[in-house]
Amino acid sequence: MGSGTWCLQKRDSFRSDSLSGNENVPETGCLSIIVLGASGDLAKKKTFPALFNLYCQGFLPPDEVHIFGYARTKISDDDLRNRIRGYLVNDRSASPSEDVSKFLQLIQYVSGSYDGAEGFQLLDKEITKHEISKSSQEGSSRRLFYLALPPSVYPSVCRMIRKYCMNKSDLGGWTRIVVEKPFGKDLDSAEQLSSQIGELFDEPQIYRIDHYLGKELVQNLVINV
């Protein structure tokens, strides 16, 4: 696993983590997308609308995909759906209300802390229940965890995912971690985060999105123009 050293590498495929060398392993299981920090602004304004756009383009077929929201806020499935409904459409892309309603029905909410076992055990239980309902063989399903969270809770959340929410075996399935927001505040903190997460997951399982990368450089350019 990673030691905190930064590197660039080409990722050949999204196939099973332990069977990635076997090109004959099909991806037959369902896909669960878990948005952690689901009640926050980033998820509401950016993550869920992006997922909705993928759904409308046919990349998230409803018979294969289910979306789980997870956060500390104690709300119901319908409460979360109502919170994000208004952000799924805008003046530039008017989507039929039927599409919005169908997409929202794919979303289920689980409440729990970011550093406690109980919430993540419940999350795993709900994901597994969905996988069974889709007749996915254990280990063939795919789980993508999207961390729309502050970097300060990345380590604890990743530990909980690793301990309670991983696929039980590998039969064409995989687990992926997507970390969003600024990845640390400087090089030292970024390397520390990378090391902490790298102790839990292999590098091909980790995807980092830093939407502030280069922000200060661009601001300086604007100021100096």
Nearest of 102, 68, 100, 76 to residue 87 by alpha carbon: 100
What is the reported pLDDT for 81? 96
Residue 191 has pLDDT above 90, yes or no: no
Nearest of 49, 57, 17 to residue 172 by alpha carbon: 17
Query: pLDDT tens digits for 135-145?
Result: 877 778 999 99
Query: pLDDT tens digits for 99-126?
Result: 999 999 999 999 999 999 999 999 999 9
Per the prediction, the chain carries an average pLDDT of: 82
Burial of 160 (0-12, 13-18, 19+ CB in 10 A): buried
Percent composition of the chain: helix, strand, coil (DSSP 3-state, to 5): 40, 15, 45
**Higher pLDDT, residue 183 or 85:** 85
All domains of the chain, ordered by start, with CATH? 31-224 (3.40.50.720)
**Higher pLDDT, residue 49 or 222:** 49
What is the reported pLDDT for 77? 97
* pTM attached to this predicted model: 0.82
The arithmetic mean of pLDDT across residues 22-43, rounded, is 81
In the structure, what pLDDT confidence band is assigned to residue 208 with cuts at 50, 70 and 90? confident
What is the reported pLDDT for 34? 98
The proportion of the chain whose per-residue pLDDT surpasses 90, expressed as a percent, equals 56
What is the reported pLDDT for 9? 45
Residue 22 has pLDDT above 50, yes or no: no
Q: Is 72:38 a contact under the CB 8 Å cutoff?
A: no
Q: Is 171:137 a contact under the CB 8 Å cutoff?
A: yes
Q: Who contacts 29 (Cβ-Cβ below 8 Å, separation ≥6)?
A: 131, 134, 136, 137, 139, 140, 141, 142, 171, 172, 173
Q: How many helices (H) and strands (E) does the chain have?
A: 8, 6
Nearest of 193, 213, 210, 178 to residue 2 by alpha carbon: 193
